[in-house]
Amino acid sequence: MHWDGYGWGVWGLTMMTVSMVLFWALVVLAIVALVRYLQRSGRVERGTGTAEELLAERLARGEIDEEEYRRRRAALGERWKR
- 11 vs 77: CA distance, rounded Å: 72
> What rounded mean pLDDT belongs to the chain?
83
52 in the Ramachandran plot: left (φ > 0), alpha (ψ -120 to 50) or beta? alpha
Which of 12, 32, 14 lies closest to 24 in space, CA to CA? 32
Query: Model confidence over 15-34: pLDDT tens digits?
Result: 999 999 999 999 999 999 99
pTM assigned to the model: 0.45
